[in-house]
Structure 1
Amino acid sequence: MPSLKEVRNRISSVKSTQQITKAMKMVAAAKLRRAQNKIVQMRPYAQKLTQILQNVTSSLVGDDFNNAYSQARTPEKILLVVITSDKGLCGAFNTNVTRAVNLLLNDTYRSQHAKGNVTLLCVGKKGYEYFKRRNVPLISDYSTILTAKDLGFGDVLPAAEFAMKGFLDKKYDKVVLVYNEFKNAATQILQTETLLPIQIVKEDAPAASQTSKSKDKQLQSDYVFEPNKEEILESLIPQTLKIQFYKSVLESNASEQGSRMTAMDKATENAGELLKELKLSYNRARQANITKEILEIVGGAEALGK
């Protein structure tokens, strides 16, 4: 049985840890509110922009539509955009992303990875540090994006432009985003999305129902294109891709704060349970010492009486 001093030291240590985890939970909750507000405001804009793009491209069937960002090539060279966090203590947030990337490397893009044709663009220090220890080509120029005090579109834009330029220059045949989508403070959904080439929704797609077709046509009739659809797409597609990239980073940022808040809340609860056990052990040890001292006194008194 540990001594009373050892138990007291452990109780003091656990109390200090509990105060730290409680403070970190409060900080994460404050950051989560700001990050959640950003992504909630961004989602409608990103969804509407994507809807407009689909409405415009759906009417350009066959050879009428030819955009560099939509050119589907044999995926020999892959760019994986891995979005993690800069700091730890956020539960399985980073582990889920790195596990998904490892699955892509060892399964989906196994042959490309064996040839060294899979490159990782890491947004966040944790992902960069993890894959730096492994034999994977890395782009580290954008790993410090999340250090910005107030993460904005301008902070993410260089990374998005790098991925887009790499696809246009045929340096990469496919660009894939791997990140955590924010659902609520306790739930994050791992997403693996293809950023490039863009997926064009055709007007005569067989999967579309007659009702959805009529709705699409109704939506298209609400727009007047000036000067023409092709010129609009030249500016609309790059903007949509950049917004999609930025939205993924905001989703990941909100998910990180939610995951950290949940993890710190659980750690605080665990510290409370541990304190209960330590106090019980302390009381038992103290009671045993008192009983031992009483027995020694009684034994000494009896010896003196004899």
Structure 2
Amino acid sequence: MDALLFHRSAGQATSKNLTLRLTQQAPFDKTIQKTTTCCGWHGFCGLMAVKVTHQFLPVGGLMKLLPFRVLPLASVLLASFVGLASAAPISLTGQILGDPRTGNFHDLFIDVTITGDTTSNQVSWKVDINTPNHPNAKLDEFYFNMIGLGSDYSFSGFNPTGWDINSPASSQGGGNMNLEFLFEALDPSGPPNADDVTNTQDLTFTMTKASGNFLASDFLNAFSSCSSDTELPCGQMGAHLQALQQGQSGFLVGNYAVSSSGGTPGSGGAPSSGGQVPEPNSSSLVLLAMGLLGASFWARRGAAAKL
């Protein structure tokens, strides 16, 4: 801001140029000249012509006015919003149980875990036999349903090597299905024979979606298959176990469930709501961040206008 000071002494006018330097630079300025009366300590009075430079910032200059303490907080909030909007974990589990039919063993358990996130078209599966009362139990076939068609998905990375997945399934040991399972995992007949899936050997594999990324609803909203044997419940998953005590076999049924944090999956595969943790409202974070940015801008602009 440049100021030109006039003062009168003994009928003579003299002038002094006064220069006031602004500490901030703006992308473009607008100068306005004002006139005011000024009296000094020596009693002289005169007119002061003041040129006031108002600074205006385009949108790109906003960052120059942000206080250093507000900017990091706003940045963290915006980054949190981006993270919430871009990815959400998929963590599903289910415990399929059997065999509820009269005369069959009722102490059969298989734990199923599915992990991934909504930014990927792949998820990982683990099928874990957890049946200690039948130490020789082995998995004959594992069945499951999904949203869509069998051709919408493909499978790879089997462990034990040699296992495979067919669609549609042809379930064994559970009576006739009025709506057959969409997929079955099994050791195909003929050589080479794959290793058995047992209490000590899990079945793991990778599932790939042909179009788009996975959502939890691809599993949770899958249809249920029901047996003609009315003692068996309907379920989104099933399994046939062999080599039980007394040479018996058994059929297990269950459903997908949201993974419980630090807890036990819902018995019988029933969906568990206890593990669901509410996520921060992303729109609220954005509004808070933008509010901080706006408040900072107007506070600094107001302070500059008083100079």
The structure with the greater share of residues assigned to strand is 2
TM normalised by structure 2 equals 0.31
* Higher relative contact order structure (alpha carbons within 8 Å, sequence separation ≥ 6): 1
Of the two, which has the highest radius of gyration? 2
The structure whose residues are more often helix, as a share, is 1
